[in-house]
Amino acid sequence: MEYGRFVSYVENENQIIMQFENRQVILEFLKEDVFNIFVPLWSDSHRSKAVEEKKSVPVRINADYKNKELLLETERLSVRIQDGFYMDVYDSRRRLLLSDYRGERKTGAAISSGEMEQLAAEGHDTSHLQKGSYQVQTVKALEKEDAFYGLGDKSGFLNKRDYEYENWNSDIPQAHTEDFHALYKSIPFLICKKKNGAYGLFFDNTFHSYLNLGKESEAYFYYGADDGNLDYYFLGGETLKDIIGNYTWLTGTTPLPQRWTLGYQQSRWGYVCAKDIQEVAETYRSLKIPCDVIHLDIDYMDAFKVFTWNEKDYGKPGALFEELKTKGYKPVTIIDPGTKMEPDYFMYEEGMERGYFATTEDGDVYVNVVWPGEANYPDFGRKEVSDWWGAHHKFLTDMGVCGIWNDMNEPASFKGPLPDDVVFYDGERKTNHAEIHNVYGHFMAKATFEALKEQTGKRPFVITRACYSGTQKYSTVWTGDNQSLWAHLQMTVPQLCNLGMSGFAFCGADVGGFGADATPELMCRWVEAACFSPLFRNHSAMGSRRQEPWQFGQEVVEISRKYIELRYRFLPYIYDLFYQGEKTGLPVMRPLILHYEDDPQVRSLNGEFLVGEQILAAPVLEQGVVKKIVYLPEGIWYDFWTGERLEGGRYLLRDAPLDMCPIYLKAGSLIPMYEPMQYVGEKPYDTLRILSVPGEGTYEHFQDNGEDYAYRKGEYNLYRFTQDKEGNVATELLHENYPKYDRIIIEPLKDGCIC
């Protein structure tokens, strides 16, 4: 993309409209430390699905053109622009943050076509080897210490430096490994932590896009896309937390969920009848392992037709749910987009009659194959289609379904990929699959969220597999079809941390692994590691070994109970993190780099994580290992299990037999806890315990009904606890408009955990 010489510029409020010889570029400040670059290659204005409200506050910009350079300054940033649209961005301390790369790119395939043929002959995937320049592209200079985070669910490790990725939502049943370029989600938000300073980049373009973060060259990284505009945001901030704050200010934060959604959840593809579900529900209760949710996979439908019920195996519609509810369960059902092509099936008939399905260029309804066989794809980008789809959820919500799990919405297709030219709409505008693919799941999740909100009046619980930036406003996500492999247990930590850094505070991986067979040891370690994961769902595939804790013997039952109970003890702490996150955009599960930015030890630390700021979890993630090398960052920490005081800023070796997940608490922490129950709502939460860890500290705790939107009208309590050096804890009520706890008990950590 040649821009040519800088010709002129005009200022229009927050916008600087620059004319280069060959192109126009619009730079718009949205805040003192956030700006957008827009090169209209495809449309005159933004067509964002992620940024749904116009975000902009007045910004004082100083613009000055001299010595063939345009200098733009706000209170927080200065941007220097030269001929060829080469741009450099500095922070308020004049540190260079981001710089366009001025040299040549080493484009072109590094491999000959002959070699490519040989690889293909043996069945190797060569699609990702065809490199070159992209229609939409920007190349930025790279420095030795630059580390990268974010990008949603990409496989591999925490630090994305030196890898390459693609954004093209993909249904991947094979074991996810670090050389995969794309999984189910497209979240083109990247955080770069530099030796000094940091910044974020959000590339808001839904077409197939590519990020090469130092693999092609140590001198630069690039972003490219097959089509669309060059439309990206520079997100500044003093800290990584500010950068995430700015990104979620733009694209939305994860809203506070219902409290029960944070409880433990059981699922399996292959609970083939109501009896299977009933047995699972009863066994959890009889073994006294807490559980809030049971998921119904595609088995509950009649011939995998959405919004139908398999009466033969699942009984009278509604009866199973009534029974589950008496035991405190909240049922969640799966809904896939692929709508069976079958005359007389009401969804097919209605969709056809109203023209609601995607079509070929010739106007025929597009057909591919998913679970129900030949199926059609609802065109969710049109409001009337989303409304229609949403309205059909009433069949389920009326029966007592409490949440909806959206799957196969990449969209998945068993008979080859959907061609790029399949016709979809964006509102009234006719477009095609190439543009809509990456937002198909986003549209579906949004439609589901809106329907549940209207039909239940509660905070919707939607889980989606595919999504785009901004979907966090509507849905939690899970990481798709992982497997019962130690490598996948290891991957969940960086994967969920990066999802959290990308705005998706509510995320989880299938506990125990979806495909392949779990072992008792893997199951224990997985429950220990996932006990702090925001979405805590055990799920497995038909044909794999069953994965409820009792399938693996008594020891697994006991260890599962211990950690699931621990989760229920920590419930108010996790709920508080969601309450705060709705305002700040910060995740629940955090890589250490988020709070210890300048500690080089944590730049690529994959095996431990923080929960909020106060808890550090260091689960064992390897087979046969009974000691954990734990890195404690600077400061004083306390061992949760023993109460031992530990100096941070060092590694330590912690005994970690099978039932031990090392957990540490930061000095001065005050952690709210509840007595574990078998499910949320079993008994009233009338007693709050505050686990007090030595040291000065303050903590704010939020209390409300945990279900609806009354808190947004002020129906909640906000407590502030303050601990002094001597360990005295003072309680203040910062906001009071909800029945208070009967008792607040302060429990000093002393010799370790209170459980």
Give the residues lining the site for ligand GLC (CB under 6 A). Answer: 269, 297-298, 334, 407, 465, 480-481, 514, 539
Given 28, 166, 379, 410, which residue is catalytic?
410
Residue 631 gets the label, from left (phi > 0), alpha (psi -120 to 50) or beta, of beta
Whether residue 333 contacts residue 463, with contact meaning beta carbons closer than 8 Å, is answered with no
Which residues does 534 contact at the CB level (< 8 Å), separation at least 6? 262, 476, 496, 500, 505, 506, 507, 508, 574, 578, 587, 588, 589
Is 69 among the residues known to form the active site? no
Which residues does 428 contact at the CB level (< 8 Å), separation at least 6? 382
* 147: nearest Cα among 605, 621, 630, 611: 605
Whether residue 488 contacts residue 176, with contact meaning beta carbons closer than 8 Å, is answered with yes
- Quote the radius of gyration of the chain (alpha carbons, Å): 26
Given 91, 292, 481, 510, which residue is catalytic?
481
Q: Which of 435, 548 has the CB closer to ligand GLC?
A: 548
Q: Which of 39, 298 has the CB closer to ligand GLC?
A: 298
* 544: nearest Cα among 297, 244, 740: 297
Is 481 among the residues known to form the active site? yes
- CA-based angle 444:588:390, to the nearest 5? 15
Neighbour-count burial for 531-569, b at 16+ CB within 10 Å, e otherwise: bbbbbbbbbbbeebbbbbbbbbeeebbebbbbbbbbbbb
Q: DSSP strand E in 4-85: where?
A: 6-12, 15-20, 24-31, 34-39, 62-66, 69-73, 77-82
- Can you read off the two tokens belonging to residue 720? 């502030």
* Beta-strand pair 209-212/96-99: unpaired
Q: Which of 480, 619 has the CB closer to ligand GLC?
A: 480
Is 410 among the residues known to form the active site? yes
Residue 139 C-beta: closest distance to ligand GLC, Å: 36
Residue 461 C-beta: closest distance to ligand GLC, Å: 16
Q: Which of 153, 297 has the CB closer to ligand GLC?
A: 297
- Can you read off the two tokens belonging to residue 462? 């939607």
Q: Which of 38, 300 has the CB closer to ligand GLC?
A: 300
- Can you read off the two tokens belonging to residue 603? 């730049």
Residue 334 C-beta: closest distance to ligand GLC, Å: 6
Q: DSSP strand E in 423-556: where?
A: 423-426, 429-432, 462-464, 467-468, 476-478, 507-508, 537-538
Q: Which of 542, 710 has the CB closer to ligand GLC?
A: 542
* 339: nearest Cα among 385, 295, 384: 385
Given 407, 435, 528, 565, which residue is catalytic?
407
- Angstrom distance (rounded) from CA 441 to CA 458: 22
Q: Which of 227, 297 has the CB closer to ligand GLC?
A: 297
Sheet-wide strand order for 537-538: 507-508, 476-478, 462-464, 403-406, 330-335, 293-296, 265-266, 537-538
* 247: nearest Cα among 57, 55, 463, 439: 55
Residue 187 C-beta: closest distance to ligand GLC, Å: 18
Residue 752 C-beta: closest distance to ligand GLC, Å: 38
At 46 the three-state DSSP class reads coil
Q: Which of 299, 704 has the CB closer to ligand GLC?
A: 299
Q: Which of 34, 477 has the CB closer to ligand GLC?
A: 477
Nearest residue relative to ligand GLC (C-beta):
269
Residue 628 gets the label, from left (phi > 0), alpha (psi -120 to 50) or beta, of beta
Residue 226 C-beta: closest distance to ligand GLC, Å: 26
Q: Which residues are catalytic?
A: 407, 410, 481
